């Protein structure tokens, strides 16, 4: 099975040795996104809700580049630097996953890249 690297200028460039997404067959694996503005390549201002919104906008752009949408998502992983932010992030997340919600994991971690509060990765099937 061939793999295809997915890239879009509508989402932040990778900050390491990885791709924004990789498509293998009908499955698309999206790398974790953090709250980077794709135009400035800088972390956005604001709290965890604003960061979660930016992360989900970034993921939406990568999904679109792979000819997918949030309806195609089967699994998400949410990483928080503070588990007390769960309710706030969940509220923003629910705005993007309005029906047929995917499977999900949410964990608190010691820290995240560039000091952000939230990172989300996902898997979609087209």
Question: pLDDT tens, 56-84?
Answer: 999 999 999 999 999 999 999 999 999 99
Contact present, 80 and 106 (Cβ < 8 Å):
yes
Domains in the chain: boundaries: 3-125
Q: Which fold has domain 3-125?
A: 60s Ribosomal Protein L30; Chain: A; (3.30.1330)
State the DSSP H helix or E strand holding residue 104, giving kind and residue range, or none if neither.
strand 103-108
Quote the pTM value. 0.96
Burial profile 61-84: b = 16 or more Cβ within 10 angstroms, e = fewer? bbbebbebebebbeebebbbbeee
Helices (H), 2-115: 48-65, 86-96
pLDDT of residue 16: 87
Catalytic annotation present for 68: no
Catalytic residue among 22, 64, 106, 123: 106
Angle made by CA atoms 108, 5, 34, in degrees to the nearest 5: 25
- Using 50, 70 and 90 to split pLDDT, how confident is the model at 99? confident
- Using 50, 70 and 90 to split pLDDT, how confident is the model at 118? very high
The Cα 39–Cα 52 span in angstroms is 17
């Amino acid at each position: 099975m061939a793999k295809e690297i997915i890239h879009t200028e509508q989402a932040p460039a990778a900050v390491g040795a990885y791709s924004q997404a990789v498509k293998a067959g009908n499955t698309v694996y999206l790398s974790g996104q953090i709250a980077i503005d794709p135009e400035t390549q800088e972390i956005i201002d604001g709290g965890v809700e604003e960061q979660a919104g930016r992360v989900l906008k970034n993921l939406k752009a990568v999904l679109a580049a792979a000819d997918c949408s949030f309806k195609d998502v089967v699994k998400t992983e949410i990483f928080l630097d503070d588990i007390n932010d769960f309710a706030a992030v969940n509220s923003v997340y629910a705005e993007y996953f309005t029906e047929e919600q995917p499977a999900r994991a949410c964990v608190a971690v010691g820290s995240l890249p560039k000091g952000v509060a939230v990172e989300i990765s996902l898997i979609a099937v087209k």
